[in-house]
Amino acid sequence: MNDYQDFIEEVLISEESLQRRISELGIEISKDYEGHTPHLVCILRGGVLFLADLIRHITVPNTIDFMAVSSYGAGARQTTGQVRITLDLKEDIHNRDVLLVEDIVDSGYTIATVLEFLKTRHPKSLKVCTLLDKVERREIEVPIDYCGFKIADKFVFGYGLDLDELYRNLPFIGAVNTDRYQPPD
């Protein structure tokens, strides 16, 4: 396994900035959902670290559930636009205040597909919270209610986001120098 030090271009968002912004988002969400019990739906696997930190800053009662989607072919760096639901929710969301928690919105196809899928189950409300937004790369318009950071068009890793399934454990977001990165065989 490569040491990330060998190919990191820069630390794009430090651990401290991530944690500060996530606490702000938690406070904002708590205000907006006052008197409600939001049901946070995390998209596996990238959103896991974000969800875990975010809920610690949410002061209204809340519940969580998970779903998984796949869009990239092996080794690919961008979506094919063909998004499949690979793991469905455990709980029924009918009449619930659903808040989707995602790591990053890139082309927008993943979120767009998931929103259409969830709408058919008639939640009371449906909102989107993403840690990162690569605005320039959008191919389909998607509503984003809460966003941690808008970032430039760079491939990033760490804090839940993977590079060929690795480096999700890093506490910061790093940008890859693609000339120096060798995918594992």
Q: Which residues would be at the binding site for Mg ion (CB under 5 A)? A: 46, 103
What distance in Å separates the CA atoms of residue 51 and residue 129, rounded to the nearest whole number? 10
What distance in Å separates the CA atoms of residue 143 and residue 5, rounded to the nearest whole number? 35
Is the peptide bond preceding residue 121 cis, with omega within 30 degrees of 0? no
To the nearest whole angstrom, how small is the minimum distance from the Cβ of residue 71 to Mg ion? 9
Q: Is 110 in the site for ligand IMP (CB under 6 A)?
A: yes
Is 185 labeled as catalytic in the residue annotation? Answer: no
To the nearest whole angstrom, how small is the minimum distance from the Cβ of residue 72 to ligand IMP? 7
- Closest to ligand IMP by CB, 30 vs 71, is 71
How would DSSP label each residue in 106-167? SSSHHHHHHHHHHHTT--SEEEEEEEEE-GGG-SS----SEEEEE--S--EEBTTB-BTTB-
By rule CB under 6 A, what string of x and - marks binding of each residue 8-47 to ligand IMP?
--------------------------------------x-
What distance in Å separates the CA atoms of residue 51 and residue 40, rounded to the nearest whole number? 8
Contact indicator for 69, 114 with CB cutoff of 8 Å: yes
- Closest to ligand IMP by CB, 43 vs 98, is 43
Q: Is 158 in the site for ligand IMP (CB under 6 A)?
A: no
- Closest to Mg ion by CB, 30 vs 78, is 78
- Closest to Mg ion by CB, 27 vs 87, is 87
To the nearest whole angstrom, how small is the minimum distance from the Cβ of residue 108 to Mg ion? 12
Q: Is 109 in the site for ligand IMP (CB under 6 A)?
A: yes
Active site residues: 106
Contact positions vs ligand IMP (CB under 6 A): 46, 71, 79, 102-110, 155-157, 161
